[in-house]
Chains A and B, each alone.
Chain A
Amino acid sequence: MEDQLIDRCLGGDHEAFYELMRPYERAVYFAAVGVLHNSADAEEVAQEAVLKAFNNLSKFRREAKFSTWLIQITINEARMRFRKDRAHLYESIDEQKTDEEGDYRPKDFADWRDIPSEELQRRELREALKRALQSLDPKYREVLVLRDVQHMSIIETAQVLGISEGLVKTRLLRARLQMRDALAPGIDGSWTTGRAEFKKVRPW
């Protein structure tokens, strides 16, 4: 089906491109948000990615999935935007592609029992998640969004980001643990489940 749409598009049928894109609109936007975490910039980058995909469709090699190729374009556009916005900083989102150094040590907050999302104020939760995601290094946030939001496989994620599967797993681990550490303090105050209070166990 996708092959037919691509052929039609390459034959000049522009409507076929919109049809081809439809299942991936959200994925493109979320991929951009994953890098930039600013919805206005993400939307602009998504538009650029769509345009780029259209203009370069003849270069798409059908060995890979169309969605993988499309999300790769999006991530690259988002990274270029990120670099442009932060040209004055020395931070780089695609510096070493080697294994991350050292083990990440998650904080000891004592038990964090199940906090069902329906028990939390939706807005409060959304804000907390947003802040936690913003606090992540972009290279971790990218992986987290592709794996845990877009539910891409490890292999696909590695292909999109141009890194090894091992590095995807390492970055995913760090991203998840850092998110957990960023969100867990909420149990001390604003979020309760109505169960027994959690004892604070802090190393400091």
Chain B
Amino acid sequence: MMIEISCVEVWREISNYIDEATDPELRDRMKAHFKVCKHCSAVLDGTRNVVRLIADGAEFEVPASLSKRIYAKLDSQLRKS
């Protein structure tokens, strides 16, 4: 018989769940919880979306010519030596 899991326990493990880093028994208990708890299911969906959006790199534009400018201080030191 599967032991129920509380919402607080679910929130504590939700990041590991998204990363598929929970043990199988806990994973099953959480899956069963998501089926019956709208709030936790919403938290799961939302957090998954956030991880996906961040990984998409939408926010993280690399400045143009970073490749040159990142060496500015090193170049300056080497020129002086």
Binding site for B on A (CB under 8 A): 14, 17-18, 21-22, 25-26, 28-30, 33, 39, 43, 46-48, 50-51, 54-55, 103-106, 108-115, 117, 122, 125-126, 129-130, 133, 144, 148-149, 151, 169, 172-173, 176-177, 179-180, 183-184, 201
Q: Decide: B66 and A43 in contact? CB cutoff 8 A.
A: yes
The minimal Cβ–Cβ distance linking B10 to chain A, given in whole angstroms, is: 10
Q: Decide: A176 and B42 in contact? CB cutoff 8 A.
A: no
* The one of B15, B16, B45, B67 that contacts A25, using a Cβ cutoff of 8 Å: B67
Q: Which secondary structure dominates chain B's binding surface? A: helix
The minimal Cβ–Cβ distance linking A169 to chain B, given in whole angstroms, is: 7
Q: Cβ of A22: which chain B residues have Cβ within 8 Å of it?
A: 67
Interface magnitude class on chain B: 35 or more
Q: Decide: B50 and A47 in contact? CB cutoff 8 A.
A: no
A113–B49 Cα distance when bound, in Å, is 9
Q: Please encode chain B, from 56 to 81, with 1 for each CB lying within 8 Å of some chain A CB and 0 for all others.
A: 11111111001101111110011000
Q: Cβ of A149: which chain B residues have Cβ within 8 Å of it?
A: 54-55, 57, 60
Which residue of chain B has the shortest Cβ distance to A28 in the bound complex?
Answer: B70
Q: Decide: A50 and B71 in contact? CB cutoff 8 A.
A: yes
Q: Which secondary structure dominates chain A's binding surface? A: helix
The minimal Cβ–Cβ distance linking A102 to chain B, given in whole angstroms, is: 10
A149–B58 Cα distance when bound, in Å, is 10
Contacts beyond the supplied A50-B70, A169-B15, A176-B51: 6 A-B pairs with Cβ under 8 Å: A51-B74, A110-B39, A111-B41, A117-B56, A172-B15, A179-B54
Q: Please encode chain B, from 3 to 19, with 1 for each CB lying within 8 Å of some chain A CB and 0 for all others.
A: 00000100110111010
The minimal Cβ–Cβ distance linking B19 to chain A, given in whole angstroms, is: 8
Using known A-B contacts A25-B66, A50-B70, determine if residue A126 contacts B54 with beta carbons closer than 8 Å: no
The minimal Cβ–Cβ distance linking B45 to chain A, given in whole angstroms, is: 5
Which residue of chain B has the shortest Cβ distance to A54 in the bound complex?
Answer: B74
* The one of B8, B41, B58, B73 that contacts A51, using a Cβ cutoff of 8 Å: B73
Most buried by B among A54, A112, A144, A201: A112
The minimal Cβ–Cβ distance linking A88 to chain B, given in whole angstroms, is: 27
A28–B73 Cα distance when bound, in Å, is 15
Q: Cβ of B35: which chain A residues have Cβ within 8 Å of it?
A: none
A111–B46 Cα distance when bound, in Å, is 8
Q: Decide: B70 and A43 in contact? CB cutoff 8 A.
A: yes
A110–B40 Cα distance when bound, in Å, is 9
Q: Cβ of A103: which chain B residues have Cβ within 8 Å of it?
A: 8, 11-12
The minimal Cβ–Cβ distance linking B43 to chain A, given in whole angstroms, is: 5
Q: Cβ of B46: which chain A residues have Cβ within 8 Å of it?
A: 106, 109, 112, 180, 183-184
Q: Cβ of A151: which chain B residues have Cβ within 8 Å of it?
A: 55
